[in-house]
Amino acid sequence: MNEILQREAAITLVKDTFSRFLCDYLHLTRVSSPLIVLDGTGLNDDLNGIERPVAFPIKSLDEQRAVVVHSLAKWKRVRLKELGVETGRGILTDMRALRPDEDYSPIHSIYVDQWDWEKHISADDRNLQYLKNTVNNIYEALKETEQVIHQHYANLTPVLPEQIHFIHSEELLQRYPEMTAKERENAIAKEYGAVFIMGIGGKLSNGEAHDGRAADYDDWSTRNEDGYAGFNGDIILWHPVLQSAFEVSSMGIRVDKLAMEVQLKEKNCEDKKTLSFHRMLLEGALPESIGGGIGQSRLCMFMLRKSHIGEVQVSVWSDAIREKMKAEGITLL
């Protein structure tokens, strides 16, 4: 078997193993999901609110426009309702997306593949401990996957620490006040090996958000039991080859009616209240939930110790990038 086929087999092993562990730990059932949704419904993920979706008219629907999803952050919550998923259980789907405004880098491609998951929770589960318990379950799935990969490929030695470290983005700012957000991520990830940075989206004491988040899925504004804002965050690992912080998941407890009202106002997008998704939420028609996305290619990069995302997914790259990778002995798929 040539090197590319061996790598493809390893990629399949990572994806199959992790998704199985994830379903077990979070009590998820696999479901089908869309590549496109109709424009104007509010179902597409707005990411930071400035990225352009791939859009096109549909002849058979009188030229009504559809958009390729950025992610399924909001679609999943509607699907929980449609499927009547009971409290304590959830859904998992293989999400495929196009993000043409993404800047190329060793960890960024315009093609995005991730596990999108969503779990029905009770109103009483909207607390910091439930968020942390969920993160710990995901982290256990990551550690077990790393062990399985090591059993099949002895040279891929496990590096994940026993526990993931939790820190709020405001605490991180106070700890490294002279650093940029990305520099702070590097510093904390290098120190602990695995970290969950909480409260991403709302403004910190320096007047800036740690990173951007849309107003209508993660709850980044509600005060938690520690007095900080936000019931969301990112799972970040220390990548031993890249020698840098490496985000593999963005997730959180989703907005309730009050949180979405506050966040839409803060982001100056209250006009979205007329969209179907937002009306459903404001009318109390959607279940409380927690959810997130876990990058499939990102996880393969980490588990297989690859330095470029093009080594684990097929995407579109410039000739200059391909030549540069070739010169460095890196073969892109």
- Integer Cα distance of 225 and 314 in angstroms: 43
Could you say which of 234, 256, 288, 311 is catalytic? 234
CA 146 to the chain's CA centroid: 19
119, burial (CB in 10 Å: exposed 0-12, middle 13-18, buried 19+): buried
Q: How far apart are alpha carbons 183 and 9 in whole angstroms?
A: 35
Radius of gyration of the chain (CA): 20
Active site residue 247: yes
Question: Is residue 298 flagged as an active site residue?
Answer: no
Q: What are 186's strand-pairing partners?
A: none
> Does residue 82 have an active-site annotation?
no
Is residue 234 annotated as a catalytic residue, yes or no? Answer: yes
Catalytic residue among 99, 126, 213, 254: 99
| Residues 6+ away with beta carbon under 8 Å from 233 | 131, 135, 169, 196, 197, 198, 199, 200, 250, 251, 252
- CA–CA dist 266, 302 (Å, integer): 36
116 is an active site residue: no
Active-site residue (options: 226, 247, 261, 270): 247
Distance between CA atoms of 279 and 257, rounded to whole angstroms? Answer: 10
The yes-or-no answer on residue 45 being catalytic is yes
- Which entry of 45, 113, 216, 218 is annotated as an active-site residue? 45
Question: Which one is catalytic: 19, 71, 169, 250?
Answer: 250
| Catalytic choice (71, 109, 114, 169) | 114
- Whole-angstrom Cα distance, residue 256 to residue 222? 10
| Rounded-to-integer distance, Cα 73 and Cα 118, Å | 8
For the record, the structure tokens of 48 come out as 């930071």
Catalytic residue numbers read 45, 99, 114, 234, 247, 250
